[in-house]
Each structure stands twice: as structure tokens, then as C-alpha cells.
Amino acid sequence: MDYKRRYEEWMNGEYFDEATRKELRDIINDEKEIEDRFYKDLHFGTGGLRGIIGAGTNRMNKYTVARATKGLANYILKQGEDEPSVVIAHDSRHFSREFAKEAAGVLLSSGIKVYLFEDLRPTPELSFAVRETKSMAGIVITASHNPPEYNGYKVYWKDGGQIVDPVAKELMEEINSISDFSGIQCLDGCSLEGFDNLHIIGEEMDKIYINKVKSLSLNPEVIKEVKDISIVYTPLHGSGNMPVRRVLKEIGFENVHVVPEQEKPDGSFPTVEYPNPEEKESFNLALKLAKKVDADLILATDPDCDRVGVMVRKADGEYYKLSGNQTGVLLGHYIFSSLKNKGLLKKDSFFVDTIVTGRMTEKIASSYGIDTVSTLTGFKYIAQQIKELDDEGGRHFVFGYEESYGYLTGNFVRDKDAVIASMLISEMAAFYKKQGMTLYDAMLKLYEEYGYHREELLSIVLKGKEGALAITNMMDNMRNNPPESVAGMKICEIKDYLTYEGPIKLPRDNVLYFVLEGDNWFAMRPSGTEPKLKIYIGVVDVSLEAAEDKSKLLLEGIKNMLSY
């Protein structure tokens, strides 16, 4: 069906309310906008269903949410389990509560039990609750760190991880089979009262989750000795405020300062351009407060509290923003070394990263006798390895992370968890402070031992249908006509993950990975959640300055090669 016919159906269909029709009438003379809203359906990428809020098949709205949920309901019922249930959570974004209730209504009217959180909660607690309630699936309404005009819909399966194939493929087929809205009950919202199979959850689940998080503390005695370490925290208007503050307080930290302007949930994210801890600008207010209270550490979590960014005070008093890879390196070493020192590091332990993550933690893991498993981008693939190797394979998961600020340890959550990470990062800072070191000092010490690694990410934003075509063309060109070298570095190997057969079986994915001489590399992939071509690079050299110079040369060489 072409986009014009879809547009007309939404304009005239009996299932669409007047507010939707008015929104569509307002763009009747904007052909490009109509095309962008209707040329495709939203699809499940690395982060599930995600898009700009608005009317249309390529937008997040109550109709796309209802359709996806009806497909999920149909799929769950086909599994034939007795009394299946689904947990639903949401963050602080615009319409998150409305979309969560819409999903609940569709599931309840299909005869499926629903556990609905009473208010916003972090995504990792949703993952935990799916496992704790032994539910068939989970839904979280969030667009993670995207700009405020976005929202999204992520589906989790009974292991607590985001759906992967074959479930993801089969679910999408079920959703795509719904060609109209006539069979969807509670399509335009319905009262949730009167459903015996609706359970509102909150404080009781919070307590179980927080106690599990605290059980992951590696050196609790250090917190008692350095409990006055000064920490500034910002939830960036999201769902992390209560759980992060609670776990830090209960674990023993007594000097935590929350950025007041960013404390309360607000889907407009009025104090930041992007509520993304990857962006240094998101720390502006936290940095101002940190200087005022002489903080040792600054933490920032994204709206659904699965990612955390870190700034640390150096010996000279200046603050340094750790990259996602640097935080992963520090956490990995801290976890591995603490477990070994306490005699808790088990045989057959493994660490999980992604193919676009820096390679330094792999070296550290190897020095502790820990195997590294590298997956595709998306934490759902890390969760899949935990399920296959730990749950079913008898091995022991110790740590996993991806460079985009997502970290996990422990076995009770199956997604990146900024509540866990915030606690362990704070504990790690206290651990090193006791030794007279900052986290920056600790990073330099690791560089001296394992080599000076530097990673960078270049995101090429190309919006709309034309942008998607341009990204496809760039990938095709690099795949079919690869260069022999970049920035003077010879390309030794090209791994095309549409065809590559590695040490573990991975799904086919549109990723190109270039192995360069000298232990350097770069990779290219279209984003699964945003209109971007992402280019990752990793270099290693004999000093910080040399590694920085090499990374600049490599980035410039890639830009010149792509000609976008």
C-alpha cells in the first residue's frame, strides 16, 4: 500500500479519533511530511519499536502501540501456556503512561494477566520484574536517550531479556498480519477497572529489586570507611531519581547531592538538548553543582535509567568525562580483581561485550583467566549469551557492557542497569579514594599495563527516506568496493556480519568490521533506532597523545573515504 492511500485511510477510518484526523489535516499540503509518516511501519530494531510521537504508521501513537500489543497478545496466546502474564513499565516521556495503559487494556481484553507498575520505573526493574513474577513477557514504554519528541516500545521475553530471533521474527510476523484495527479491543483506551487479572505493582517489587542490587556490592567495608565521598547525581528528568538515590543511601553513602533542576520527571527534558549521558552537555548543571560541593564523582542516568555517564575529579581538581569504554574498562577490572582477591572468581567465568566495543577489557579479562564473548550491538544479544552460557551452559557470567554506556553484572536483570552500575561506580570510586587515587588515576594505571587505547564514535545523521537510501548506498559501496588502507593503515581483514562465521553463532546483521594493522580497527553500521550511520574506531599506541593523534587521523580518513 502506498503512503498516500495509508494517509487517506487514517484521515477517514472509523477507528481514528478527531484529534488524530485534525493532526493529519494540518499536514495535507506537506507531501514530504505525509510520506515520512506513512511510507513504512515502525519496526523492531536494536531498541524495539521507536519513533517520533505523532499520527501515522511511522510514528509512535496509541494506534501503533495497540497494534503491536495485539500482535504480542496473539503471539503469547499461541504459545499455549496456562494463565500467561505480562509486566508493563514506563519512563517519564510524553504519553508514556497513556501508552502503558493502552497496552494494558489490549492485553487484559485478550485475557492476559497484567502487572502494571504504579508509576514510572527504570527499564532494568522491568526486566527484573518479568523474571520475579515468572511472566511470559514484559513491555517498557521508553525511547531511552532520544530527543523529547520520541517515544518507544520494547518487548522482553520470559528470561527478562529483550526479544531476539526467533521470537522477534515471529512476533513481527504476528504484528504485520494485523492489517486493520477492527479486531483490537480497547483500541482507544478503556477503563482498567473491573479486570480481575490486573495487578498494580510498586513498593514491594522495588524493595526486592533494591535488595538484590545491594547484594552485588564487592567491597562494602570500603564504603563504611569512605562513606563521606562526595557524589553528584542527576537523573536527567527521568526514572532514576528514586532507585539510584535509594540504593546509594541504603548501601551507606552519606554525601550524595542531586541536581535540583533535573530531579523531577519531565518528558520535555527542559534543561538539556538531549537527555543522553553520552553527551558532555548533559552534565552542565551537574558539573556546576559538583564544583560547588567539591564532588569526587558525578553520575548521570538517562530517562529510563539503563545507561549511566560518569565524570571524575582529577588530582588537579578539574573534572574529566569518562567514555563508555573507559567506564567499562574500570568496572571490568574492579569486578574481576575484587572477585579474584576474595576467592570468588569461578572457573568457566565469562565476560560479554559487543563487536564495536573497545578491546582493552578483553585483554584485562584474559589476564584474569576470563573468556570474552563478543556479540552484535544491542544489549539483548548480551542477555542472550547470559541465557545460553550461564542459565543453560553451566558457565558463570561476571560482567557485560556496550560502549554506549550500558553495564551489567549479576544474574537477576537481563538488560543494562544504571542502578547497579551507579552503585558499583560509586563503590569503586571510594575503593580508589582510600588508596589516594581518583578513577582517572586508576585509568592511567591500567593504560600503562595494557596499552593506551582510544575509541571514538562518528554518527552521520541522514533523516527521512532519502537519508535511509544514502546510508544504504554507503554501506553497499564499502561492502562491494572496500579500500586497501585507511589513513595509512593497511586493512588486514574485513568481517561482513551479513555472512561472517565467527566463534559463536550470531544473527546476520548489516555491520562491516575492518581489522587494521597494529591492533587498530573500525566498524560501520546503520543505527537500529535513529536515522544515523554509526562509525566506531579503536586504536592503541604508546601514549595518550599518540593514541589521540592516531584516532584523529583515522576518523579523517574515514570521512574523506565516505564522501557524504
Listed in sequence order, the residues at least 6 apart from 469 whose beta carbon sits closer than 8 Å to its beta carbon are: none
Task: Supply 510's cell numbers.
Answer: 548489516
DSSP string, 250-289: HHT---EEE-GGGSS--TT-TT-SS--TTSGGGGHHHHHH
330, 439 in Cβ contact below 8 A?
yes
Task: Supply 338's cell numbers.
Answer: 575484587
DSSP string, 531-564: SEEEEEEEEEESSHHHHHHHHHHHHHHHHHHH--
3-state SS, one letter per residue, for 395-453: CEEEEEEECCCEEECCCCCCCCCHHHHHHHHHHHHHHHHHCCCCHHHHHHHHHHHHCEE
Side-chain half-sphere of 478: how many Cα atoms within 13 Å?
A: 30
Q: Which of the following is catalytic: 110, 144, 239, 404?
A: 144
Distance from C-alpha of 437 to C-alpha of 334, rounded to nearest angstrom: 14
Distance from C-alpha of 21 to C-alpha of 11, rounded to nearest angstrom: 5
**Catalytic residue flag (residue 144):** yes
Which contiguous run of DSSP H or E holds residue 297?
A: strand 297-301
Active site residues: 144
